[in-house]
Homo-oligomer: A and B are copies of this chain.
Amino acid sequence: MTEFGKPANFTRRVPDGDTQHRDVCTDCGFVHYDNPKVVAGAVVRSNGGILLCRRAIEPRVGFWTLPAGYMELNETVEQAALREAYEEAYARIEIDTLLAVYSIPRISQIQVIYRADLADPEIKPGVESLEVDLFSWDRIPWDEIAFPSVHWALNHFHEVSGQDVFAPFSNPDGETGDYPKAQRKG
């Protein structure tokens, strides 16, 4: 669990005054309250194209994804989506509306995905991207998409194409966000 130095020695127990089991360090007594993490991102459109980024980092190096990433402290979800688009594609975007809130319970992640517009045509790869590009719907590289939730977001985006107002999407029925077994590593 640590990046350097002596590893923390966690044991699983219910801290005093709590009701849930937590990881508690037997060295220093630290209680690690672990909560789901929020990914903020956007389906960004520009002249009929959709912005995708080819991943330079694990997991799924070389596969295409939406500009999206973990929220940092002290920002709004919208600020996080704008920051990620800039970090991954140097894309300046304007949020249009909320497209979806997905949950991936196996990895305790929720994803808040907006529909957005590219505000400036200049894009280029950030350090976490090998390549960034705009794809028309019939050019999307479906076999090289990084994660199931990217499929969901692209399809949901397409489903409400031309609609200004719609109820945002959740996970497609029965979908949990896990990879199909054939795509899983290891």
Contacts and interface: CB of A to CB of B under 8 A. Distances in A.
Given A15-B3, A167-B97, A105 B74 contact: yes
Nearest to A170: B78
A110 B74 CA distance: 10
A9 B25 CA distance: 12
Contact of A168 (B25, B75, B98): B98
Contacts of A103: 75-79
Which range contains the number of A residues in contact with the other chain?
Answer: 35 or more
A7 B72 CA distance: 25
Contact of A35 (B28, B70, B77): B70
Contacts of A159: none
Nearest to A166: B165
A167 B98 contact: yes
Number of identical monomers bound together in the oligomeric complex: 2
A61 interface: no
Contact of A110 (B1, B77, B167): B77
13 contacts: A27-B27, A30-B30, A30-B32, A35-B71, A35-B73, A36-B71, A73-B108, A75-B105, A77-B103, A98-B101, A98-B167, A110-B112, A165-B167
Interface of A: 1-9, 15-18, 20, 25, 27-32, 34-38, 70-79, 97-98, 101, 103, 105-106, 108, 110, 112, 165-168, 170-171
